[in-house]
Amino acid sequence: MTNCENTRERLTLYLDNELQGDERALVEAHVETCDSCASFVEKELTFLNTVRKSGPLHAASPELKAKVSEILSSSQEPVVRESSRRMRWMLPVAAALLVLLLPVVVWRIVRQNDHPENGVPSAFALKAAESHLKHIRGQLPLEVTSSEPEEISEWFENKVNFHVKLPSYQETSGQEILYTLEGGRLVNFQNDYAAYVSYHMKDRPISLVITSELLAQPSGGEEIASKGLMFHFNAIDGLKVITWSDRGLTYALVSDLEERGHQSCIVCHQGTKDQDFIEPLKRH
């Protein structure tokens, strides 16, 4: 903490109570010995206190309070009464339906076990599909744009709690250029940030979402092992979602490629020299 330029950003975090433990102690120790930073903190605190003490900006009128109270009370009581009234005739109907549908339910469960591709997608696979759709709709604009894997990987440094190293697979394998890297951004997953990376294959968007294996474990869907990894293939909202874990990270790849399940892997990796990755997929 010798450079005051670097410290200024930390001082703002400090004043906003965003630093804890050692980080906070480090900033406090620096401020005690640095007149320039101490003066900065004093000025900032004066300004922030002026703003903070000016609140609250507005107070709701008694009329509004009465209306909101009515919304809150009317939403609770009738719903309970309504549901209990409904329950009286719903119970025998539900029991009758259960008896009628039981053979179908059992058949579905047995069938699902026989065909794991019908399994429920993991929360991470669903999140990846949602992010892909939002990005296509323009609701998730990229925060960094580049076609260089190293540049995007570098951008994620210190933004996510894991190390992102995007593959420069295409460039090093000697295969023809089939897809293009577009850029990346952060997305929320399990109260933390996941890395979202966007690719294009001709005019078709492909999304790669990466998080820590501690937060997401691939599950459900059609399972195929290749090169020591287990890939899970799901169809979500017409999209193909492939999830897998490797070296502490969990990945989800989303595309609208028409090829079924694992065949969609081959689309990007065709012509690759990495035949030991592709061959097991082709056998399925």
Partner 1 sequence: MLEHLDALYGYAMTLTRDKTEAEDLVQETYLRAVRAANQPAPEENLRAWLFVIMRNTWLNVMRHKQHGVQIFDDGTTETAVSDINTNPHVVYLRKLERELVHEAIASLPVRHREIIVLRDIEGFSYHEIATVLNCPAGTVMSRLGRARGKLRDALSARQKVHRRFG
**Which among 218, 199, 217, 197 has a CA at the least distance from the CA of 209?**
197
CA pair distance 37, 142, nearest whole angstrom? 35
Distance CA 175, CA 231 (A): 23
> Least Å distance between CB 235 and partner 1?
25
Binding of partner 1 by 6 (CB under 8 A):
no
SS3 176: coil
For the chain, give the number of residues.
284
Shortest distance, CB of residue 23 to partner 1, whole angstroms?
14
SS3 letters across 74-117: HHHHHHHHHHHHHHHHHHHHHHHHHHHHHHHHHHHHHHHHHCHH
Among 33, 61, 93, 114, interactor with partner 1 by CB under 8 A: 61
Helices 21-33 & 35-53 angle (0-180, nearest 10): 120
Q: How many residues bind partner 1 (CB under 8 A)?
A: 35
Binding mask 142-161 for partner 1 (x = CB under 8 A): -x---------------x--
**Stretch in the footprint of partner 1 (CB under 8 A) among 67-75, 110-118, 197-205, 269-277:** 67-75
**Interacting stretch for partner 1, rule CB under 8 A, among 57-65, 167-175, 231-239, 273-281?**
57-65
Residue 45 binds partner 1 (CB under 8 A)? no
The residue ranges that bind partner 1 (CB under 8 A) are 12-13, 16-18, 47-48, 50-61, 64-65, 67-69, 71-72, 75-76, 143, 159, 185-186, 188, 191, 193
